[in-house]
Chain A
Amino acid sequence: MQNDFRSIKIDREKCQGRMACMRICPTQAIRVRNRKATLLNDRCIDCGMCVRVCPNNAVVPQTSSFSDFTRFKYTIALPSPVLYSQFRGEFTPGAILNAFKKIGFDDAYDVACASEAVSIAIQEFLDNSTLNQTYISPFCPVIVRLIQIRYPNLLENLIPIDSPMEIAAREAKNLKMKETGLNAKEIGVIYITPCPAKMIAIKNPPRKKYSFVDGAISIAQIYPNLLQALNQQDTVGAKEVKGIGLGWPILGGQVSTLRAHDTIAIAGIMEVIRIFEDLENGKLKNIKYIECHSCSTACVGGSLNVENPYMSRNRVIKLLEKYGNTPCQDRDYVKNLIQKNFFSLPGKIDATPIAPIDSDISQALKKMQEKVTIYEKLPKIDCGACGSPDCNTFAEDIITNNAEIEDCIFVAMKKFENLSVELIDIVKKHSNKIYRNINI
């Protein structure tokens, strides 16, 4: 099983234990032990915050390398629509797709059009749903993972519709199999990704046995080659990329394609956590659909992009103005596909909760009491010098035998102070006996 696969790894050679990653991690999945950061796989949700903040570039995204694709006879690039917003020049999405053929891929396939189809599928699903349920978008892999770990009650709220990436990959593969006569294993579909998290959706796709995508290369990695090719090529003859799916990379990109007005769009992992708490408490009544993004500026803010997210957002809006008004999909045709379960994902997503502090409830209660007692002794300033991200987590690490209380510099200082007082007393007692008449 690849359940344990995480989309980031810490390079211990490069890591200098500077704790930036530990402090920013929203799920307290990093500890610094022996001056090196270590990742707790069971807590990590692949959000990539650590990738952004590491001053030593020691958090390495686990995307594919080009050599992984030499086994294929035919390769198709499947760029995230975020890529269309990464260039300062006036390159059209069609020209960008064309440029892939100049840099070693056999073809490239647009995903935005699949996004439009998925938008229609979501609308149909919501229209036909009779449950009084709030559905959550499952397209950001970090959100799915967050729910698996922290909000098992919300697993059933994830809308059972496949991602545009998967739909496009399946389409592209089938099309090329027909065109070339090659079999599925001979054709490689390579996603061009704005974030490491997509690797999770590829290696371990929810509700599916396998993904139609064979690997992912980051936008940052492919950007220089692509830019060079774009500057050289003649853009005449590029096919037109169009439709509302072009707006998916920005916040609200999904919900703006839906007719339903009872939808909300949220970006940023901490904001998403707040909304999930509300949802679990039964607070979000009458909301049908929540578009959720882990990154605070949605997909244009992915950690593997080159352009700043605000410029990208601006370009996505421009693209929408120019190409968004012409539909890419025939609505009736898509509705027909929905009838054939083209988009739906049966099956369940498993919960993968973080292990409790003890599997025996009686022991767990005892340890929880110990934890509270320990926490009360701590300075509560969350300095992180102990190697745990905050005092509360440190207390938990102590009761689960993953830290010692003296790792807290304040506790250690206090102990040292107490010992010093004791030591001075002993010395004084002795010196009074032996050297009573000596003054220095």
Chain B
Amino acid sequence: MNEVFSQTYEIRGNDFQNAGKVSTDIKTLLKQLGIRPEIIRKVAIACYEAEMNIVMYAKIGTMRMDIDTEKIKITVSDQGPGIADIELAMTEGYSTATQEMREMGFGAGMGLPNIKKNSDEFKIESTLGIGTKLEITIFIN
């Protein structure tokens, strides 16, 4: 039987104080499981960017991680504004971040492209006014 371990984390919009905590928890878990450092690096960057997107734009969201012996799958769903033009949002440097967010060092327009770059498989769905869903898959071997 193929073992699967799953964990779901909640992320709140505008919670800048705890931003990054979920990514840290996920990293700690992967280290305990003995996942290779280079894989953890990819997961860390992808998760962190996804987490920040929720904190910056959405009301609330969840990050669900499913790990089996072959891959780490991260499903990020949020209740938020949604993305009007996904293709544009996937362009490096494109950002809708406010001046305030930029001053905090976010919103360089690298979020989604960076997530995709660090994923082996990447899916994005978004409905305006409802929210966005990302599916990130990173293979372990």
Q: Which residues of B contact A366 (CB under 8 A)?
A: 3
Contacts of A174 in B (CB 8 A): none
Query: How many A-B residue contacts, CB cutoff 8 Å?
Result: 73
Q: Which of B24, B37, B49 contacts A152 (CB 8 A)?
A: B37
- Answer whether residue B44 sits at the interface, using C-beta atoms and an 8 A cutoff: yes
The reply to whether the CB of A364 lies closer than 8 angstroms to some CB of chain B is yes
Q: B25 to chain A: closest CB distance in Å?
A: 10
Q: Does B76 contact A (CB under 8 A)?
A: no
Q: Is B101 an interface residue (CB 8 A)?
A: no
Given the interface pairs A361-B34, A368-B5, A396-B32, the reply to whether A282 lies near B114 with Cβ below 8 Å is yes
When the two chains form their complex, are residues A368 and B38 in contact, meaning their CB atoms are under 8 A apart? no
Please state if B34 and A365 are interface contacts (CB–CB under 8 Å): no
- Determine if A356 is an interface residue (Cβ-Cβ < 8 Å): yes
Q: Is the CB of A365 within 8 A of B68?
A: yes
Q: Is the pair B37, A277 in contact by a Cβ cutoff of 8 Å?
A: no
In B4-54, the 8 Å CB interface with A consists of 4-5, 7, 20, 23-24, 27, 29, 31-34, 37-38, 40-41, 44-45, 47-49
Asked, given contacts A362-B69, A366-B3, whether A283 binds B32 with beta carbons under 8 Å apart, the answer is no
Q: How far is the CA of A357 from the CA of B44 in the complex (A)?
A: 20
- Find chain B residues with CB under 8 A from A283 CB: 20, 48, 105
Q: For residue B5, which residues in chain A have a CB less than 8 angstroms away from its CB?
A: 365, 368-369
**Chain B proximity of A43: nearest CB distance (Å):** 12
A277 touches B24 (CB 8 A): yes
Q: How far is the CB of B70 from chain A (nearest CB, A)?
A: 9
Complex-state Cα separation, A278 to B44, whole angstroms: 10
For chain B, the count of residues having a C-beta within 8 Å of the partner chain is: 30
Cα A359 to Cα B35 in complex, Å, equals: 10
Complex interface: chain A residues within 8 A of B27 (CB): 277, 280
- Confirm or deny: B67 has a beta carbon within 8 angstroms of a beta carbon on chain A: yes
- Residues 86-140 of B contacting A (Cβ, < 8 Å): 105, 108, 114, 140
Contact with B along A325-364 (1 / 0, CB 8 A): 0000000000000000000000000010111111101111
Partner of B105 from the list A285, A351, A356, A358 (CB cut-off 8 Å) is A285
Q: Contacts of A280 on B, CB cut-off 8 Å?
A: 27, 40-41, 44
A150 to B40, CA, bound (A): 12
Contact of A153 among B24, B29, B38 (CB under 8 A): B38
Describe A's contact surface by its main secondary structure: helix
Are B32 and A368 closer than 8 Å at their CB atoms?
yes
Give B108's nearest chain A residue, CB to CB. Answer: A285
Inter-subunit contact A281/B32 (CB<8 Å): no
Range for the number of chain A residues in contact with chain B: 20 to 34
Closest residue on chain A to residue B68 by CB atoms: A365
Does the CB pair B34–A281 fall under 8 Å? no
Interface residues as binary, B48-63 with A (CB distance below 8 Å gives 1, 0 otherwise)? 1100000000000000
The answer to whether A278 and B20 have CB atoms under 8 Å apart is yes
Q: Which residues of B contact A281 (CB under 8 A)?
A: 20, 23-24, 44-45, 47-48
Query: Which among A152, A351, A365, A372 is the interface contact of B33 at CB below 8 angstroms?
Result: A365
Q: Are B20 and A362 neighbours in the complex by a CB distance under 8 Å? A: no
A356–B39 Cα gap in the complex (Å)? Answer: 15
B4 and A365 contact, CB distance less than 8 A: yes
CB neighbours of B68 from chain A (8 A): 365
Residues of A within 8 A of B67 (CB): 365
* Alpha-carbon separation in the docked complex, A359 to B69 (Å): 12
Chain A proximity of B77: nearest CB distance (Å): 21
CB contacts (< 8 Å) of B7 on chain A: these are 372
Within 8 A of B (CB), among A23-49: none
> How many angstroms between the C-alpha atoms of A198 and B76 in the bound complex?
45
- Assuming A282-B44, A353-B31, what are 19 further A-B pairs, CB within 8 angstroms? A280-B27, A280-B41, A280-B44, A281-B23, A281-B24, A282-B45, A283-B48, A285-B105, A285-B108, A356-B32, A356-B33, A357-B32, A357-B34, A363-B3, A364-B32, A365-B4, A365-B69, A368-B32, A368-B33
Sampled A-B contacts (13; CB under 8 Å): A150-B31, A277-B24, A280-B40, A281-B24, A282-B114, A351-B37, A356-B33, A358-B34, A365-B3, A365-B67, A368-B29, A369-B3, A372-B7
Nearest 7 CB-CB pairings of A with B: A356-B34, A281-B48, A365-B3, A152-B37, A365-B5, A282-B45, A364-B33
